[in-house]
Structure 1
Amino acid sequence: MKKTIYAIILSAVLAACSLHSSDNGKLDGYWSLRQVDTLSSGVSVDYSGQRVFWAFQADLMQSEDMPTRMQFVYRFSHAKDTVAVTEPYLSDRTLGDGKVTEDKWFADINRHGINSLQDSFFVERLTGDRMVLRDKMLRLHFEKY
């Protein structure tokens, strides 16, 4: 009798939960921005001490820099060798989530390696622990955190 009750409860819980799995493969997870290369000049900047992170899950991407505690949330798509980020929003519980415009918070997302409100990156490398993305201006080197 107890086993039947437990089975019913478990079935009800599983039916009530909507399980959503992500199919982003090696892209999913928490990434630390380690180096930024400017393509036009060839200059590389060590970002390992800047503590800038990107996180991917389902169709959302979050970027954050720990010194300023600024967090942004984006929609993203990942197809083959391209990652596209769109619709950036400031993630702030006290001020409310505000849509990023070129006038508002745009300079802050630039510090995170995003150069436009709709940025597209070519995936140069994506392994279990390393990722290199390139857009029109920058090459971003990440390490899985």
Structure 2
Amino acid sequence: MNKNIASVFVLLMLVLGSVLLNSCEIESSDNGSLDGFWHLESIDTLATGGRSDYSKQRVFWGVQYKLLSVNNYEGGRFYFRFRQTSDSLILLSPYKNNWHQDVENGGDIPLTEINDTLRQCGINHLVESYYKEKMNGDKMILRTKELRLNFKKF
């Protein structure tokens, strides 16, 4: 009798475990090499050949799943949705990170124009399109009509 009860209990636990695992939906990213934390090393101005060195500044782009964060530690934090293809990256739906909604004036704020902080991070338009010149596990180079952004994986 005890053997039958133990067998039924084990079978019940297996069925319950299977149901719980099947009810969980695991979303995975298909961002490839884009996923991760990127340090902006420099920005080249294509029209003039000028270069701004960012290697000693704290400007980072972070990519996880469907969200891209831009952190300029001296100017602010922003979030973008993005789309990518094999040769392009398009940033859209920009928001300023205004911390938590449970504080006065908190919560993310949709942007209606690009500010100087974002321009310093290589973003000049509310919808910004980049051509991927190079993207691998440790280096990313993005280009617009005006700029070339050089990143190193952090």
Question: Are 1:38 and 2:49 an aligned pair?
Answer: no
1:44-84 Cα offsets, whole Å, 9 max, x none, are 1110111111111222111101233x111111011010000
Q: Rg larger in 1 or in 2? A: 2
Cα distance in 2 for residues equivalent to 1:31 and 1:48? 12
Deviation of 1:12 after TM superposition, in Å, equals 4.7
* 2:108 counterpart residue number: 97
Matched, 1:118 2:127: yes
Q: How does 1:45-64 map to 2 (within 5 A)?
A: 45-64=52-71
- TM-score, L = length of structure 2: 0.82
- Pair 3,109 (structure 1): closer, same or farther in 2 beyond 3 Å: farther
Q: Which runs of 5+ in 2 are unaligned?
A: 1-5, 101-105
Alignment RMSD (CA, Å):
1.9
Aligned residues: percent identity? 38
Q: Distance in 2 between the 1:47 and 1:131 partners?
A: 14
Q: What is the match of residue 82 of structure 1?
A: 88
Structure 1: how far apart are the matches of 2:62 and 2:68? 5
Gaps of 5+ in 1: none
Contact in 1 for aligned 2:98/2:108 (Cα 8 Å) = yes
Q: Partners in 1 of 2:17 and 2:37 — Cα distance? A: 31
Aligned residue identity for 2:83? S
Cα distance in 2 for partners of 1:118, 1:65 equals 19
Compared with structure 1, are the counterparts of its residues 19 and 111 closer, same or farther at alpha carbon in structure 2 (3 Å cutoff)? same
Kindly tell me the number of residue pairs found equivalent between the two proteins.
142
TM-score by length of 1: 0.87
* Structure 1 runs (4+) greater than 6 angstroms displaced: none
